[in-house]
Amino acid sequence: MAGSSLEDTLAAIGYVKVIVTMKDRASAAATSEIAMQDHFIAPDTAQTQSLVAAATRSAGRQIRGAESLAERRVRIYPNLGLAVGSVDASGLVSLQADPQVGKVDKAPEISLIKPVEARPIKTGVGPTWGIKRLNVERLWQAGFTGQGVVVGHLDTGVDGKHPALAGAIKKFAEFDLAGDQVPNAPARDSGVHGTHTAGTIVGRPVSKGRFGVAPDAQLASAMVIERGQVIERILAGMDWVIGEGARVLSMSLGLRGFTPAFQSVIDALRAANVLPVIASGNEGPRTSRSPGNYANVLSIGAIDVHDVVPDFSSSQSFNRAISPLCPAIVAPGVAITSCVPGKKYETMNGTSMATPHVAGLAALLLQARPTATADQLEAAIIGSCARPEAMEEARANHGVPDAVRAYELLTGSQLPAAQVSVAPRRRTPAKKRSARGRSSSHPPRSVAKKMARRPKVAASRRPARKKSPSKRRPA
């Protein structure tokens, strides 16, 4: 049923954009846009022309004209089982009466959760503190690096030319301001945020260090924010990553406050066996963002190197029996090093930086148990968490995950021993062996034999050594 916000919008402007949840995904795949379009109204022609012009300037190419966009009243996303379009009052009534329709919600407009601070780095680093804090290196040593796992990534895009992401991008899709996929678009970033979060998930080792949690996993990355028809762009990206076989979806975006309008989208992801890993927001205590504050997402807050939840990390309590506290867990999100466009590197702060850490961890676990469901994966990550005494439950909920413990919970077995190849010992030449194998107080064996054959001289019969005149150093 439509909520009051939907009705308020109808009263204010005469129409409202809605997300339609079909009763099942099969019916969405079988239903054509033409069959559904009678419920919806055509967009305003003048506004559509402006949108086309803006999309053309942004994409640097000619997109479909205003006429074709004006004729397209509804979009169907078959992998999600959803449809999006604008309705007036009569269209809403007919839509709700359609036997194929499950429910109708007002479409929200969500935005990027931007970093709190960003700084360029000049010196190299080893495995970042975030990787060490989550105990990820132990999974690497046992052979789990995310190989064969595809992680969905919805953001500002990704710089496909960055050396830290060489071979890491399985597929890339750019959705323009009108919500249409740009044919044959090269992997690019419209900002810096997407490349940074992508690097934390799948960054390959480079001279600046190791910051990718799953360095052998691959990304299905889509440019979906910001500006333009954001809801169409994001839904198109979600539908696309499911089609690309992603099992985990990393999103650092949301709508400030709580709105149930995106619940149908998250439900669709869970039905497709995809684990949504979503940032809680950067607005501090008693705040959160949707859909990061839903009960059926793995919502992520931030911690710093001292296990302190920073002031910017969002947290909020909800009046519900299941998962009443957001975020579900916390992860490293302060002074996080990763790559940015232009072959550069920066440290950033934010729950946007914490989220890809957990998405990368999920990829490692999926390599260990490819048949795990999204529910099992989520349960293992949450079950592995510990919360230090100084860390408040209201701010950190379950606490910080541990990669080894999560592996054990998911697989039911102990982590294998580290796969460290030991090179065979080389025989040292005899001349060098004495120096390496004996202390300086023991002569080589050949010299010892000669010394043994010499007659021993009593100490009393040994000639006394002449003392050399002392040489004084100048003062």
Report, as residue numbers or ranges, the catalytic residues: 155, 193, 352
Query: Phi and psi (nearest 5°) for 367?
Result: -65, -40
Cα 216 to Cα 201: distance, rounded to the nearest angstrom: 10
What is the C-alpha separation between 40 and 320, in angstroms, rounded? 34
Residue 367: name the closest of 402, 336, 398, 411 by CA: 411
Inter-residue long-range contacts of 428-433, CB under 8 Å, 24+ positions, other chains counted:
none
Cis ω for the linkage preceding 215 (within 30 of 0): no
Radius of gyration of the chain (CA): 31
Return d(Cα 328, Cα 381) in angstroms, integer. Answer: 10
What is the spatial distance between Cα 225 and Cα 254, in angstroms, rounded to a whole number? 11
d(C-alpha 180, C-alpha 236), whole Å:
8
Rounded to an integer, what distance in angstroms lies between the CA atom of residue 80 and that of residue 274? 11
DSSP state letters, 54-72: HHHHHHTS----HHHHHH-
Which of 250, 313, 257 has the alpha carbon at shortest distance from 288? 257
Contact 194, 221 (CB under 8 A): yes
CB within 8 Å of 352: residues ≥ 6 apart: 112, 113, 114, 115, 193, 197, 252, 279, 282, 333
Are the C-beta atoms of residues 265 and 230 closer than 8 Å to each other? no
